[in-house]
């Protein structure tokens, strides 16, 4: 990265840029690195792109009863039961049309989620902010730029074996905290996303993701550094990127969490 780009990032509060230390590329190069490399070598030899890894066949799975129990959902609740049987197109349509909690009245549009629907990594945040609400994509504001930076530091990129979504699909007005009723109404959407993706690892970012998935009020600090399980899927707790922007010293802890996540997924 050029000194100029580093200065830009510094201005945005996103510096220092995170760089992977130690042995290079345990996970293999990301597409961005490949593009960079191919750009560098354009004048010498044609770029050789690595073939993508074999894809898992798409799966439509029935709801898992345990999954429902863990999130304190009641399958007798017709709405939740219906959502937990949906395929991707049905779920996207249902989220876009949802008026269950009232937030849809004040937001611009729903923000479903973005990325690889068969990703190994599922990142869960809290709720869309102003920029996400305007663009219909999660984590595209300043916190999102930090998240992209953090992902790049461990050789990952948005959309490449990574899926990103939020607990809430609608922006709470003025970015206030989600209300318990709103979380309860939106949780079936999140659980169905999780069930359809079947990731190898969930990264729960911030207390609302943790509360929705682990059903605990415990602090992020006390839950970090351990491999939790959400219905058998390994889950790692870390700070929310927006929190990190306000608490720069904790970036080092989030870096530890990401390294821990990378080691854990490599060991699976
Ligand atoms: N914060 C979140 O939790 N999610 C977003 O999409 C953006 C900011």
Q: What does residue 235 show for φ and ψ, rounded to 5 degrees?
A: -135, 130
Q: d(Cα 170, Cα 108) in Å, to the nearest integer?
A: 8
Q: Is the pLDDT of residue 22 over 80?
A: no
Q: d(Cα 178, Cα 68) in Å, to the nearest integer?
A: 21
Token pair belonging to 11 = 């201005």
What is the 242 CA–ligand 1 centroid distance (Å)? 8
What is the pLDDT averaged over residues 1-14?
52
Q: Which of 112, 241, 245 to mutate to test the pocket of ligand 1 (most atoms within 8 A of CB)?
A: 241
Cis peptide before 25 (omega within 30 of 0): no
Token pair belonging to 229 = 């399980």
Q: d(Cα 115, Cα 193) in Å, to the nearest integer?
A: 12
Check residue 24 and give its pLDDT. Answer: 38
Q: pLDDT tier at 77 (50, 70, 90 boundaries)?
A: confident
Q: d(Cα 57, Cα 55) in Å, to the nearest integer?
A: 6
Under CATH, which architecture does the 65-266 domain have?
3-Layer(aba) Sandwich (3.40)
Residue-wise pLDDT for 186-227, tens only, equals 999 999 999 999 999 999 999 999 999 999 999 999 999 999
* pTM for this model (two decimals): 0.77
Check residue 1 and give its pLDDT. Answer: 55
What is the atom index within ligand 1 of the atom nearest the CA of 126? 3
Q: What is the DSSP letter of 242?
A: H
The closest alpha carbon to 192, from 79, 54, 99, belongs to 79
3-state secondary structure of 57: coil
User: Strands 233-238 and 228-230, how do they pair?
Assistant: antiparallel
Residue-wise pLDDT for 233-259, tens only, equals 999 999 999 999 999 999 999 999 999
Domain ranges of the chain: 65-266
Q: d(Cα 114, Cα 159) in Å, to the nearest integer?
A: 7
Q: Which of 132, 136, 147, 167 to mutate to test the pocket of ligand 1 (most atoms within 8 A of CB)?
A: 132
Of 1-5, 162-166, 201-205, the least confident: 1-5
Residue-wise pLDDT for 97-118, tens only, equals 999 999 999 999 999 999 999 9
Q: Whose CA is nearest to atom 3 of ligand 1?
A: 126
> How many CB atoms sit inside 10 A of residue 102's CB?
12
DSSP per-residue string spanning 210-225: HHHHH-----HHHHTT
Q: Between 15 and 104, whose confidence is greater?
A: 104
């Amino acid at each position: 990265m050029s000194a100029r780009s580093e200065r830009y990032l510094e201005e945005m509060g996103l510096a220092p840029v995170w760089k992977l230390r130690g042995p290079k590329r345990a996970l293999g190069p990301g597409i961005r690195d490949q593009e960079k490399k191919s750009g560098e070598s354009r004048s010498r030899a044609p770029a050789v792109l690595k073939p993508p890894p074999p894809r898992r066949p798409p799966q439509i799975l029935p709801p898992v009863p345990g999954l429902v129990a863990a999130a304190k959902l009641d399958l007798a609740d017709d709405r939740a039961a219906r959502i937990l049987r949906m395929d991707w197109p049905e779920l996207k349509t249902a989220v876009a049309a949802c008026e269950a909690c009232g937030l849809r009245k004040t937001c611009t549009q729903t923000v479903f989620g973005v990325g690889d629907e068969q990703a190994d990594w599922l990142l869960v945040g809290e709720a869309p902010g102003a920029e996400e609400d305007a663009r219909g994509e999660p984590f595209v504001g300043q916190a999102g730029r930090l998240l992209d930076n953090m992902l790049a530091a461990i050789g990952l990129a948005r959309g490449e074996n990574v899926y990103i979504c939020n607990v809430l699909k609608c922006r709470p007005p003025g970015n206030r905290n989600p209300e318990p009723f709103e979380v309860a109404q939106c949780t079936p959407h999140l659980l169905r996303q999780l069930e359809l993706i079947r990731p190898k690892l969930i990264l729960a970012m911030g207390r609302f993701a943790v509360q929705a998935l682990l059903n605990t009020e415990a602090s992020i600090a006390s839950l970090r550094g351990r491999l939790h399980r959400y219905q058998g899927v390994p889950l790692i707790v870390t700070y929310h990127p927006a929190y990190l922007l306000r608490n720069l010293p904790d970036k080092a802890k989030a870096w530890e969490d990401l390294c821990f996540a990378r080691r854990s997924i490599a060991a699976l």
